[in-house]
Amino acid sequence: MKFFVDTAEIDAIAELNELGIVDGVTTNPSLIKKSGRDILEVTKEIADLVDGPVSAEVVATEAGAMIAEGRKLATIAENIAIKLPLTWDGLKACKALSAEGHMINVTLCFSANQALLAAKAGATFISPFIGRLDDINLDGMQLIADIRQIYDNYGFETEILAASIRTVNHVTEAARIGADIMTAPPEVIRKLAQHPLTDKGLEQFLKDAEAAGIKIV
Ligand code: G3P
């Protein structure tokens, strides 16, 4: 499973990138707002930092304007994936921009039928939002499973990018189902390393090491 980081915070991306666990980055207008940075500047910095795809989202809503914005975003760097919302116009822009050879991340996906349309329109990535479905008492993970089955049934190459991940359990479940990629905030990715028994075990080992006078260097 590939790991994307869902943030526009450069320091957090750099720290995770040093561990070699960052396969890409996703941003959206809310994350750009949170960073307080200019979209073109911060996206360029991120794209220079990581080797994998960096999603940058359009803000137009009409297909022609989305295509113009997408082309502009794609000039930032070679590893830009143009992020388009899953609307009818977004699908038109997806078809046109993917035909030009751009990577496309179709976002705000909340149903299997939407994911089917995105794949047929040439999306590189589909972003089903797990957490936001869970927020309204629907089953975000079932959506990932449905899309996996449908894409496998027909051999669609669009990669399933599990998004709106809020918990470590979302990561485990998305991996079990076979999502190609997950994107999560840096805090959730750091939590993947935590386990109370690891902390407890280490505490005991350190006590015993001290008692035994173990010194290595
Ligand atoms: O990748 C999409 C993600 O940013 C949405 O997450 O937590 O705002 O639903 P959230």
**Which of the four pLDDT bands, split at 50, 70 and 90, describes residue 124?**
very high
Whole-number pLDDT of residue 191: 98
High-pLDDT (> 90) share of the chain, %: 100
Tokens of 109: 């996906």
Whole-number pLDDT of residue 1: 98
CA of 46 relative to ligand 1 center, distance in Å: 18
In a domain, 104, yes or no: yes
Whole-number pLDDT of residue 211: 98
Give yes or no for residue 183 CB within 6 A of ligand 1.
yes
Q: Which domain holds residue 197?
A: 2-212
**Which of the four pLDDT bands, split at 50, 70 and 90, describes residue 121?**
very high
Mean pLDDT computed over every residue of the chain: 98
For the stretch 161-174, pLDDT in tens is: 999 999 999 999 99
Residue nearest to atom 1 of ligand 1 (CA): 163
In a domain, 217, yes or no: no
Query: Three-state SS for 106?
Result: strand
Report the residue among 2, 3, 5, 6 best suited for mutation to probe ligand 1: largest number of ligand atoms under 8 A from its CB: 6
What total number of domains does the chain contain? 1
Whole-number pLDDT of residue 23: 98
Whole-number pLDDT of residue 206: 98
Whole-number pLDDT of residue 100: 98
Please indicate, yes or no, whether the overall pTM of this predicted structure exceeds 0.95: yes
Q: Which helix (H) or strand (E) holds 186?
A: helix 186-191
End-to-end CA distance of the chain: 37
Give yes or no for residue 131 CB within 6 A of ligand 1.
yes
Q: Which helix (H) or strand (E) holds 128?
A: strand 125-128
In ligand 1, the atom with minimum distance to the C-alpha of 28 is 4
Q: What CATH number is given to the structural domain containing 14?
A: 3.20.20.70
Residue nearest to atom 8 of ligand 1 (CA): 164
CA of 180 relative to ligand 1 center, distance in Å: 17
Whole-number pLDDT of residue 160: 99
Residue nearest to atom 6 of ligand 1 (CA): 164
In ligand 1, the atom with minimum distance to the C-alpha of 132 is 9
Q: What is the mean pLDDT of residues 138-162?
A: 98
Nearest-5° angle of CA 25, CA 65, CA 73? 30
In a domain, 154, yes or no: yes
In a domain, 26, yes or no: yes
Give yes or no for residue 125 CB within 6 A of ligand 1.
no
Catalytic (active-site) positions = 83
Whole-number pLDDT of residue 209: 98
Whole-number pLDDT of residue 16: 97
Whole-number pLDDT of residue 71: 98
Q: Which helix (H) or strand (E) holds 2?
A: strand 2-6
Give yes or no for residue 132 CB within 6 A of ligand 1.
yes
Query: Cα–Cα distance between 98 and 207 in angstroms, integer?
Result: 58
Give yes or no for residue 124 CB within 6 A of ligand 1.
no
For the stretch 59-72, pLDDT in tens is: 999 999 999 999 99
Whole-number pLDDT of residue 43: 98
In a domain, 87, yes or no: yes
Give yes or no for residue 26 CB within 6 A of ligand 1.
yes
**Which of the four pLDDT bands, split at 50, 70 and 90, describes residue 94?**
very high
